[in-house]
Structure 1
Amino acid sequence: MRPKHANIVSSIPNNNASSFEVYWNRERLRRLAWIIAGITALSLPLAAASSTATRIVALLWMCGLFVATLAVIRRINTDTPILVINHQGIIDSRLNHDPIYWSDIDAVAPCDPHHSRVLELYLKWPEYRLAKARPLIRLGGALQRRVGVPALTLSLLFLDCELIAVCDAIATFRPGLLPSQLIHHD
């Protein structure tokens, strides 16, 4: 059984450092699954339409929503960490299972840690670091760089932690990457 909330746990063999692990927020994912199921139910009348084209489009739409619901349910039943921050860097399994090494991160973009649900990273070599990521991640990174937005955005929306906790974990390993507003002082 996984911890209820993001925790700093000892998980690195042969190393005295700890890692900060973040899991899916199951309650938020359940709500999302119900919303998708509700949208699917609302599209049922379209499947009964008289037009064959409308019925085909409705059926394809409902199949897509069904696949999305299954993907959300699969995430609800996952006990592996999604985001790990450790001595190597940041590992986000949604992007890639390779770490984004601390040496690859130029800085963390400023944001409001109490209200924001995203962490934006400026990467030194974004093309190289994102080369093994899924195609949509690479495309998003390229588009973000083109308009001057940080190369990588990590969403915490469906994860079981707050941005301030992630910033504290980054400060544990590389405080120099954080803007002063994100460094938590006790």
Structure 2
Amino acid sequence: MRTMFPDLGAGMLRLARLLCVAGAVALTGCASFYVDASTKEVSAAQFKKPAELKPVQLLFEFQTKGTQNSRATDFLKAQVAEQVKISGLFSQVSDGPVTGGALLSVTLNNVPLSDDAFAKGFVTGLTFGLAGSQVSDGYVCTVKYVNGSQTPLAKTARHAIHTSMGATGGQPTGTKADNMEAAVRTMTRQVVSTALNDLSQDPSFK
């Protein structure tokens, strides 16, 4: 049976285990997806725009535990590129090299919430030890900007998606999404906006 979510390859999410019951989910709605409430979307209007906008080459990669996931990269690439374009931080966003050599790389890494580095970096905290049959996935978004001889700038933001299977009692803290795809796209938009905002607020960003 075909699922309601594109085949993104093993490992786009640890939630991929849910795909084996996707038929039942589609028919009964027994799985609910929640985008964690700790990370909010930052409007591009809040970004601190440079005095002079410059073109930039954009590189995007989705990873699973630090390993490249090409199918997930292809799935989200256009969305991330559009988000960077409308950020107002650059005069042009290109797939190839640009005049001046400015380069922006955006990496979204899917990691277990039990990972110590993730847990320590998530200052606002997450909902651990969820009751019942529930699964949570962590995501680390790293934005790196290099402009000529300028010292590279790097900003990191974190997010999570919680999945509740069946009537498990207490629900995760977060915003319920219509389905897995909607949850992934919302999470990506929110975490990328947070990282871009942090980059824009850095005095060294030019």
* TM-score bin (small chain): under 0.3
More helix by share: 1
More strand by share: 2
Higher Rg:
1
Higher relative contact order (CA 8 A, sep 6+): 2
